[in-house]
Amino acid sequence: MDYREVFVREYSDIVRLDRLTWIRRGYIDRSSLYRRVPMPDLFSVSGELIPLPKPRVDSASRVSVAEALLSRRSVRCFEDTPIPLDKLSTLLYLAFGVSKVEPGVYGYSRFPLRTFPSAGALQPQEVYVAVFRVEGIDPGVYRYVFHRHSLEVRARGDFGSSLVSAALDQDHVGEGNIAVAITVRWIRSSWKYGRRGYKYSLLDAGFAGENLYLASQALGLGTCAVGAFYEEDLCRILRVDCSTEIPVLLMPVGVPRSGCDY
C-alpha cells in the first residue's frame, strides 16, 4: 500500500477519534447564554429504576488512602467470575455517590455534594455502567442515578463486543465485570463559568475517574482508564446525544487476574 494511502487512513481515524471533542470547542463562546436561565437539572430520570443495595463502606476501610494510592496500577486482565451486587453498589457509592447535602445552593432546597471534586460543585459528569457479570442484575447498559443510589435502565443485553469494537478492539474493555463510561454534560459547567466551563467539565471527569481507580483498589478490584474510542459509537451504546453530552472516559472494572502483566 502506498505510504500516502496509509497516512490518509490513519489520519482519518485520528480525526474520527477526537472529532466531537474538538467540535465542541466551537460551541464554547455560546455558553454565556446559559447563565441567563436556571441551572441545568441535576436530577432527571427517564427510565426504569433498579434500587441498589446499601453500600458496605466497611468493606473498603481495611485499605488506607496511602495504601490505595501507592498500590494502584492500571489493570487489563480480569478473572472470569461474577461479583456480588453489593460490591457494585459500594463501588459506585464510593466513587460517585453523595457524601453531603447542602441547603439553599443554586436554588435547590437540598443540593448534593459528591465524593469527587467538581468546579462550583456543578457535577457535569454522568456515569454509565455496562454490566457483564454481576450477581443479581441482568447484563445491560445502565445510568447511575446518584441521588437515589439506583441504576436507570438504558438497554438490556450483552454489549461487551460492541464496547470492544468502539474502543478500537481493546479486548480488556469487555472482559471485566463491568465497564464504566463517564460522560460530561458540559453545559452544566458552562452555565456558570462560560467558556472555561468546557475545560472544567473535562477536568471534573478526570477527578471522577481517579475516584474509580481508588475505590476499585480499596475493594480488591482493578480498572484501567481508556480514552481511545469512537465517540459516536459509544454514544449510540449509551443512548446519549453526542452533542449536549459527550463521553470522555471508558473504564473496565473487574477482579484482577493473578500472574498477568498489567
Looking at residue 238, its pLDDT comes to 98
Looking at residue 7, its pLDDT comes to 43
Looking at residue 261, its pLDDT comes to 61
DSSP string, 82-101: -B-HHHHHHHHHHHHSEEEE
Looking at residue 13, its pLDDT comes to 58
Looking at residue 260, its pLDDT comes to 73
Look at residues 88, 82, 99, 95 and name the one whose alpha carbon lies nearest to residue 54: 88
Q: Which CATH architecture has domain 3-254?
A: 3-Layer(aba) Sandwich (3.40)
**What is the C-alpha to C-alpha distance for residues 54 and 194, in angstroms, rounded to an integer?**
38
Looking at residue 245, its pLDDT comes to 94
Domain ranges for the chain:
3-254
Residue-wise pLDDT tens for the chain (262 aa)?
Answer: 554 554 445 545 555 655 665 555 555 444 444 455 677 888 989 889 999 999 998 888 888 888 888 888 999 999 999 999 999 999 999 999 999 999 988 888 999 999 999 999 999 999 999 999 999 999 999 999 999 999 999 999 999 999 999 999 999 999 999 999 999 999 899 888 888 888 999 999 999 999 999 999 999 999 999 999 999 999 999 999 999 999 999 999 999 998 776 5
Amino acid letter, residue 77: C
What is the layout of strands, in order, in the sheet containing 150-156?
49-51, 150-156, 140-145, 125-131, 178-184, 246-254, 222-223
Looking at residue 16, its pLDDT comes to 62
Looking at residue 58, its pLDDT comes to 87
